[in-house]
């Protein structure tokens, strides 16, 4: 008698083509990722048409490799899961259509997954269990959110960005100071070598708000550079990076800390590509080192987009038998709280 549940998961929301096989929502049997960074680097950001073309070229190969690495056959699967949104609509459609074809060909139920739910549930792959109520700090190229969860599958957004997402701000600042795409890792590296001498503004917004704003900080960086240039002075790029990152981290950690206290949180999860930022990781670890709050940060390979996290989130839907039909479409505007 079969004991475990196997999900084939597919992720193509942006510029990574990924497929994974996940057992019982917790164990990674395979997680294959094909990155497109080199293709987009010369454009300074992701070009949707190029991303879609790469997904078309890679998807079949990546799925076959994931199945092979997991040591299973399609007949062993219990469901097929795929990111339905948010993301680039053309990119999403490649994964959605591949998932629908596989589900139809092998008579398997289909599960549509919210991309941000996936990032949150990446943490389920590294801990025994998620402890509720919990707070997820989502930090990525397209999202910056504080999400309260009282149980599995329940998402309440208590704070979100009003303008730029944190990863977007990193990339824009990096471009301003002449660093290559993606800019986040380069700023993180330089920040470790610099000092917060510029004391850039911290956008706390209203006293009771958990929202974020990084557009003003980005403008402050540009104005600072401009002022130095007008005065004919040189600015150390390491100090600029350190000052920018210090402002970002202080607000992220500060608002997270206040939400933890207000909502009586047991566990804090960090999710999204910017969770790979060493400065942020170190600051959060220092904040909760001597605390009863359990801080969980995924390893670097589970911070960036991957299909394993999609499989982990899909396991919650599989248990509830919440499947979707073959009319599933890419949905860039999908609502996390309604998912």
Instruction: Report the alpha-carbon distance of residue 156 to residue 148 in Å, rounded.
Output: 5
Judge whether 95 is annotated as a binding position: no
Q: 142 among the known binding-site residues?
A: yes
Contact 194, 240 (CB under 8 A): yes
- Which helix (H) or strand (E) is 247 found in, with range? helix 237-262
The reply, when asked if residue 163 is annotated as ligand binding, is no
290 labeled part of a ligand binding site: no
Instruction: Give the whole-angstrom CA distance, residue 85 versus residue 11.
Output: 10
138 is in an annotated binding site: yes
Residue 188 assigned to a binding site: yes
Helices (H), 106-236: 115-121, 166-176, 183-191, 215-230
Sign of CA dihedral 35, 32, 19, 306: negative
Q: Is there a binding annotation on residue 52?
A: no
How many Cβ atoms are within 10 Å of 99's Cβ, its own excluded?
31
Q: Which two tokens stand for residue 331?
A: 């949905």
- Residues present in the chain in total: 339
Was 119 annotated as part of a binding site? yes
Burial class (CB in 10 A: 0-12, 13-18, 19+), 88: buried
- Tell me 267's DSSP state: E
For the four alpha carbons of 164, 166, 170 and 173, in that order, the dihedral sign comes to positive
For residue 234, how many other CB atoms are within 10 A of its CB? 8
Other residues' Cβ atoms within 10 Å of the Cβ of residue 18: 28
**Alpha-carbon gap, residue 186 to 112, rounded angstroms:** 34
Binding-site residues, please?
115, 119, 138-142, 171, 184, 188, 277, 305
Give the residue ranges of the annotated binding site for Fe cation: 115, 119, 305
Q: Give the residue numbers of the binding site for substrate.
A: 138-142, 171, 184, 188, 277
């Amino acid at each position: 008698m079969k004991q475990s549940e196997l999900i084939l998961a597919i992720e193509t929301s942006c510029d990574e083509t990924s497929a994974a096989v996940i057992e019982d929502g917790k164990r990674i049997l395979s997680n294959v990722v094909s990155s497109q960074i080199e293709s987009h680097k010369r454009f300074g950001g992701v070009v949707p048409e190029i991303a879609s073309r790469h997904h078309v070229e890679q998807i079949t190969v990546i799925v076959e490799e994931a199945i092979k690495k997991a040591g299973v056959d399609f007949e062993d699967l219990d469901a097929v899961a795929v990111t339905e949104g948010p993301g680039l609509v053309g990119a999403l459609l490649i994964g959605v259509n591949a998932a629908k074809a596989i589900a139809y060909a092998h008579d398997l139920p289909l599960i549509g997954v919210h991309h941000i739910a996936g990032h949150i549930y990446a943490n389920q792959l590294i801990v025994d269990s998620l402890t509720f109520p919990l707070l997820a700090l989502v930090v990525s190229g397209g999202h910056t959110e504080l999400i309260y969860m009282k149980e599995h599958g329940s998402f309440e957004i208590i704070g979100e960005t009003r303008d730029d997402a944190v990863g977007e701000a990193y990339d824009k600042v990096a471009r301003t100071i002449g660093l290559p795409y993606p800019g986040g890792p380069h700023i993180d590296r330089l920040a470790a070598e610099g000092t917060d001498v510029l004391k850039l503004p911290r956008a706390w917004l209203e006293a009771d708000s958990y929202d974020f704003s990084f557009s003003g900080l980005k403008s402050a960086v540009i104005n600072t550079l401009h002022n130095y240039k007008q005065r004919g002075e040189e600015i150390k790029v390491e100090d600029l990076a350190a000052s920018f990152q210090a402002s970002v981290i202080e607000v992220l950690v500060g608002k997270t800390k206040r939400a933890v206290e207000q909502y009586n949180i047991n566990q804090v999860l960090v999710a999204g590509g910017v969770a790979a930022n060493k400065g942020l990781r170190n600051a959060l670890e220092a904040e909760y080192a001597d605390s009863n709050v359990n801080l969980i940060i995924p390893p670097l390979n589970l911070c960036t987009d991957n299909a394993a996290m999609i499989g982990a989130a899909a396991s919650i839907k599989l248990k509830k038998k919440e499947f979707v039909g073959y009319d599933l479409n890419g949905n860039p505007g999908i609502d996390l709280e309604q998912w």
